[in-house]
Amino acid sequence: MKNHSKYKVGYFMPPNPTAKWVTRDHVEKAPIWCSVDLRDGNQALITPMNLEEKLEFFQFLVSLGFKEIEVGFPAASDTEYDLLRTLIEKDLIPDDVTVQVLTQSREHIIEKTFESLRGIKKAIVHLYNSTSLAQREQVFKMSKDEISEIAKEGATLFNKYAALMPETNFRFEYSPESFTGTEMEFALSICNEVVDIWKPTADKKVIINLPATVAMSMPHVYATQIEYMNDNLHDRENIILSLHPHNDRGTAVADAELGLLAGADRVEGTLFGNGERTGNVDIITVAMNMFCHGLATGLDFSDMPNIVETYERFTNLTVHPRQPYGGSLVFAAFSGSHQDAIAKGMKWHEDMGLSTWSVPYLPIDPHDVGRVYEADVIRINSQSGKGGISYILENSYGYAIPKAMREEVGYFIKDVSDKTHKELAPVEVFKIFSQEYINCFKPIDITDISFQKDPTSTSSKNVSFNTIVVANIDGHIFKLEGHGNGRLDATRKALMKGPYNMEYTFVTYTEHALETESDSTAVAYVAIADGTGRVYWGVGTHKDIIYASVNALVCAINRMNKVAPFIEK
């Protein structure tokens, strides 16, 4: 790309810039949130919402906790006018919610805008006009003074039409459109002229909204511009300083966060950043970033799957699987080392009984946004490791497989994923584990077994047992007897008297109750080693732990037979 020389910086730094905001490391309180999904977001859709859809989406935004919602540009279309009238006439606006409407600085448009609001209890009326150097020179061909006159005329008309509706509590908002491409001294001047006309008070504050209509700079420049306005606006104590970042440079969230550090009080944006070109600032991301720093945001994103589904249904847009907080894969860990760290971190938190969250690789608890660990966090494919697979088997199905067994199981299951070229759902992971390791009864199946304590045993620590085993081996029934220093050892010795050579040694044995089962099924894990030292694991389940251990032994022997088939004596 050789055309870079045709581009130049299009933004303006303020005179004598300061950067006090840089000393603040986090936002201390949540801003006022204003959703512009029904205006800025809706006008960016290929197929804008109809009246019924807008009404339902408005109620959806209310359910999420938004207290200020820009519902449209009522003078621009019948649908937007009808939306406002329907909200008012059907009394659909909760008392704690304020709707906002947008208008250009032209009298017939301002008049129709106020007309659309007749009968409403309270409203924000948003005035804007373009102030940037590019707009002044190329579009309007006007001087700064002429552009200022447009803003001042609109502000004066606001006072005029609001006075005709004393029953309504109006608040006014002004945006110098394309603020980021406006000389800062001029942006400040025109905003102060509007403020002086509206004369804000503590009970009737004015909103000065500073939009990055087109993002032009790195975020720290935007923050420095906001700080300049924050320090120099008239009646600052009676001003609500608002941000409206767009995402042309992919920095809208950073612009909003640094803008708040620089003194802003309010953020206008949309769900998942929908909007023209690359979109508006994503309010979900900004709010959730604050949430994970311990701030109450006033918004409810506790059911993120439903929010994603609703958003996609109304907008016909798709939330990217890696979209922060809302994407289907944002909590997913496929990497074995990540899965292991997450599993250990969550176990540590559980064991320690901690009330604060600091699990590796998970900036927030997925449960807080309606996601579940087993389905959303530990995801199994060919890149997965023993930690994640073990986590699923234990937390979803109750099998706390021994540490020494985890590597073998991990490699076995992810090899299935590799060969099938697909992710394995938890139910598939358990199915593979179950078929390969649990109660595998071919070619050996013990159909009956009994134990009797050896009457010659003299020590309580070294009790020996006699056993009678009825075994089906390759379709043939054998009655075998054995004697050993425990039930499992007696079973092993009985099987050794069968028609096949089965040379192996015990390696380890563990057991536990299967806690996910209400009837407390017992689980046993047995490892044996053949003559070469290769280890084979078997898992047995039964209501009785003795029979569970026998099943585990038989399963381990049968798995050994897969590798080195038994040879008849």
- Checking if the pLDDT of 491 tops 70, the result is yes
Tell me: do 109 and 204 sit in the same domain. Answer: yes
Is there a single domain that holds both residue 272 and residue 199? yes
pLDDT above 90 for 2? no
- Domain termination residue (choose one: 315, 347, 362): 315
Q: Is residue 328 part of a domain?
A: no
The tokens 């540009």 sit on which residue?
73
C-alpha radius of gyration, the chain, whole number: 35
pLDDT at 1: 80
Over the stretch 107-139, which tens digit does the pLDDT of each residue have?
999 999 999 999 999 999 999 999 999 999 999
Domain shared by 255 and 344, yes or no:
no
Encoded amino acid at 136, one letter: R
Q: What is the pTM of this model?
A: 0.79
Q: In 3D, which of 217, 297, 205, 296 has the Cα closest to residue 258? A: 217
Whether the CB-CB separation of 150 and 126 falls below 8 Å is answered with no
Amino acid letter, 322: R
Greatest pairwise CA separation for the chain in angstroms: 113
Torsion angles phi and psi, residue 65, rounded to 5: 105, 5
My answer on whether 183 and 126 are in the same domain is yes
Please indicate, yes or no, if residue 13 is contained in any of the structural domains: no
Domain presence at residue 516: yes
CA-CA distance, 148 to 194, in Å (whole number)?
9
pLDDT at 565: 86
What is the reported pLDDT for 566?
83
Question: Domain check: are 502 and 361 in the same one?
Answer: no
The type of residue at 181 is G
CATH assignment of the domain containing 553: 3.30.160.270
Chosen domain end from 415, 436, 457: 436
> For residue 536, what is the enclosing H or E element?
strand 535-542
Q: What is the pLDDT of residues 249-267, one digit of tens each?
A: 999 999 999 999 999 999 9
Which pLDDT tens digit goes with each residue over 135-189? 999 999 999 999 999 999 999 999 999 999 999 999 999 999 999 999 999 999 9
Mean pLDDT of 28-35: 97
pLDDT of residue 192: 98
Instruction: Provide the residue range defining the domain that includes 360.
Output: 336-436
7 in a structural domain: no
> Lowest-pLDDT range, 454-463, 521-530, 550-559?
454-463
Q: Are residues 130 and 136 in contact, defined by beta-carbon separation less than 8 angstroms?
A: yes
- pLDDT given for residue 440 in this prediction: 95
Residues 199 and 292 in one domain: yes
What gap in Å lies between CA 24 and CA 259, rounded to an integer? 11
Q: Looking at residue 337, what is its pLDDT? A: 82
If asked whether residues 155 and 216 sit together in one domain, one would say yes
Q: Strands across the sheet with 522-529, in order? A: 505-513, 522-529, 535-542
User: Do 400 and 346 share a structural domain?
Assistant: yes
Q: Does pLDDT of 205 surpass 90? A: yes
- The tens digit of pLDDT for each residue in 439-487 reads 999 999 999 999 998 887 666 667 889 999 999 998 899 999 999 988 9
Q: Report the pLDDT value the prediction gives residue 377, as an integer from 0 to 100.
A: 67
User: Out of 232-241, 309-318, 496-505, which region has the weakest mean confidence (pLDDT)?
Assistant: 496-505
* Greatest mean pLDDT among 71-85, 252-266, 495-509, 516-530: 252-266
Q: How far apart are CA 518 and CA 81, in angstroms?
A: 59
Indicate if the pLDDT at residue 378 is higher than 90.
Answer: no
pLDDT of 114: 98
Residue 504 shares a structural domain with residue 408: no
Backbone dihedral angles phi then psi of residue 167, each to the nearest 5 degrees: -75, -10
pLDDT tens digits for range 33-43: 999 999 999 99
Domain co-membership, 364 together with 282:
no
Mean pLDDT in the chain? 93
CB atoms near residue 166 (< 10 Å)? 8
Q: Quick one: 264 and 348 in the same domain?
A: no
Token pair, residue 136, equals 């002044």
Q: How far apart are CA 186 and CA 172, in angstroms?
A: 20
Q: Which residue has the higher pLDDT, 219 or 376?
A: 219
Please give the backbone phi and psi of residue 256, each rounded to the nearest 5 degrees, phi first.
-65, -45
Q: How many domains does the chain contain in total?
A: 3
CATH number, residue 172: 3.20.20.70
Alpha helix (H) ranges present in 65-170? 78-89, 107-116, 133-134, 144-163
pLDDT of residue 418: 86
Residues 103 and 208 in one domain: yes
Task: Read off the pLDDT band of 495 (50, 70, 90).
Answer: very high
Percent of the chain with pLDDT over 70: 96
At 392-408, the pLDDT tens digits run 898 889 999 999 999 99
**Does a structural domain hold residue 246?**
yes
